[in-house]
Amino acid sequence: MNGITNRLIFSLVLLLIIGAQSYAQEDPTGDEATDSILSKKLKTIQTMEQLLDSVRLDGRQTGAINDRREQKFLDARDQQQALLDRAMARLDREEQRSVRLQNEFEANEKILEDIGETLRIRLGNFGELFGVMRQVAGEVIATVRNSIVSLQYPNREHAIIGLVESTGVPSIEQMSKLTVVMLEEMTQAGRVDRFQKKVVLPGGSIADAEIVRVGVFNAITEDFFLKFIPDTTSLQVLARQPARRYRSMADDLFDLEKGYTTMAVDPSRGQILGLLIQAPGLWERIRQGGLVGYFIIFIGLLGAVLSVWRLRILREEGRAINLQLATDKISTDNPLGRILSVYDDNETIDPESLELKIDEAILREVPQLEKYHSIVKVFAAIAPLLGLLGTVVGMIVTFQALTLFGTGDPKLMAGGISQALVTTMLGLIVAIPLVFLHSILTSWSGTLIEILEEQSAGLIARHAEKIKS
């Protein structure tokens, strides 16, 4: 009996716990509420009848709570079902719309295909013609943007941009504008115009200037050649101006009001002019030769000075000899006069002795007539050798640079070889005139020596006849 009672009590307590949990589920405090409700009920229960009543009450309350929860669940299910029904209905409508749009798209594709085929048939060869026209228009736009004429007449390319960007059939107006722009560029290529424009000076400052445009090739001011910069649509004064002969032509053209004059133009629209001004000048070439080049120039100048000085002396000596030949009066201020004085001083000796004395006098005069000729000859010989030395040194430096930086830049090797050959050029420039001057000196002095020998032979012959008679 006691066991049944215990089991009954256990069951009732279990029911109380379940009921407390039901209340706790209605209460947001959770487990703490469950423990509180259960402890309160257990404290109030004293007898089995109270326990049974409490269990019955909790059962009724629990049933009511479960009924409310079930109704709440059913209401939520009905709402979700309604939402699902609306979503499915919307999905059906969208699917139907998608099918309709797909059918319309396919129909439009077929229409476009038919229209394209009709257009292709009607255009015939004109399609290729229009393609070529668009290509030509693109090239014309590039030419116009890079033309000096655009400085004077800006935004010319805007008239034909639409033709390049169009994918349809060009209009008559667009083709007419293309023709006008092309004819305008061709016309301006043969005109010389004046206009005012800002130019960029070498220091970076900007100044207003009167510009003379020579076709599409060159632009000049009163003092400078200009370079057109297409990226910034501006004119820039060249950092280095061309040679004087080109600047003189430009000055004549700038000052010309009417008529014709000669002008050098750059058909490459500035490229040749840019290369021309990059070419080193005479003094730059000399500086490229370095120490060897300076030494070559020094010996060249020294040899030239010696040669000119000796030529002057030989000319004076030749003039004095000619004067001596024209008179019977002996003068010792010239080689022939000094030889004649030796004859006058030794008229009484035998011909053999006289010949020896005259030969001795000639030998004394020959070194004076040939003085410094050997030095000029040596200068003419060593100048090309020094040039070759400078070239070898320059080539060594160039190949060392190639070893460090590689051969990726051909300009590096070409520039180094060009600088190395400067000394060879200087050596040849010095040697050729010195060889020519040495030949003149040798020939002139040889002529004077022959005159002296000829006159000496005549004196000895006359002296020998005089002795025999």
pLDDT tens digits for 103-155? Answer: 999 999 999 888 878 877 766 666 667 777 788 888 888 888 888 888 888 88
pLDDT (mean) for 166-183: 80
Does the model's pTM come out above 0.95?
A: no
- pLDDT at residue number 74: 81
List pLDDT tens digits, range 439-465: 998 988 888 888 888 888 887 777 777
pLDDT (0 to 100) of residue 412: 60
Query: Is 50 exceeded by the pLDDT of residue 96?
Result: yes
pLDDT for 306: 92
* More confident call, 411 vs 273: 273
Q: What is the pLDDT of residues 399-420, one digit of tens each?
A: 777 777 666 566 666 666 777 7
Residue 5: pLDDT above 80? no
pLDDT score at 132: 78
**Mean pLDDT on 380-406:** 80
Q: Of 148-152, 180-184, 224-228, 343-347, where does mean pLDDT reach its minimum?
A: 343-347
Residue 10 has pLDDT above 60, yes or no: no
Q: Residue range 160-182: average pLDDT? A: 80
Question: What pLDDT, on a 0 to 100 scale, did the predictor assign at position 23?
Answer: 46
Lowest mean pLDDT among 80-94, 268-282, 356-370: 268-282
pLDDT greater at residue 95 or residue 166: 95
pLDDT at site 304: 92
Residue 14 reports pLDDT greater than 60: no
What are residue 219's DSSP bridge partners? 213, 226
- Mean pLDDT to the nearest integer, 239-243: 76
Res 453: pLDDT = 83
pLDDT digits (tens, 9 = 90+) for 289-303: 778 888 888 999 999
